[in-house]
Structure 1
Amino acid sequence: MRVEVDEDRCCGAGSCVLVAPEVFDQREEDGVVVLLDAEPPEQVHGGVREAADICPAGAIALRGA
């Protein structure tokens, strides 16, 4: 699985950080998503898929999922 984020689309809701904190964080100044691991280990794939599904801005894309 490869994770991609579109910082321009991110609305700073933080739902991705809540479900997959190993992979996502937020910038302090504006809350925009920060991708910590573009190729996360298999044991966190479920959380990453959930983060992509619930992202209100559709800012998370998964490749090879």
Structure 2
Amino acid sequence: MKIEVDWAACISSGMCTAAAPDLFALDEKSQLLVLVEGELEGSLPGQAVEAVDVCPVQAIRLVGER
């Protein structure tokens, strides 16, 4: 499973950073950063699902097998 972000839709609310701190952060300008590229392993898929669920504009999508 991999993370995809719809950058045009993302409002950098920070909800995903709270739900998945190992996957997302906000930079000094409060822009979203994806911290992990490629396939998610270990506890990261669970965090990714949580981030998708809490995104207020549904800008995060997971692709690949779950």
Pairwise TM-score range, normalised by the shorter structure: 0.7 to 0.9
Q: Which residue of 1 aligns with 2:22?
A: 22
Q: Percent identity?
A: 36
Question: How many pairs were matched up?
Answer: 64
- 2-structure distance, mates of 1:21, 1:27: 13
Structure 2 counterpart of 1:2, one-letter code = K
* Long gaps (5+) in structure 2: none
* Long gaps (5+) in structure 1: none
Moved over 2 A (4+): none
The answer to whether the 8 Å contact 2:20/2:51 transfers is yes
- 2-structure distance, mates of 1:45, 1:17: 14
- 2-structure distance, mates of 1:28, 1:9: 20
Secondary structure of residue in 1 paired with 2:61: strand
Q: Which residue of 2 aligns with 1:36?
A: 35
- Normalised by the length of structure 1, the TM-score is 0.83
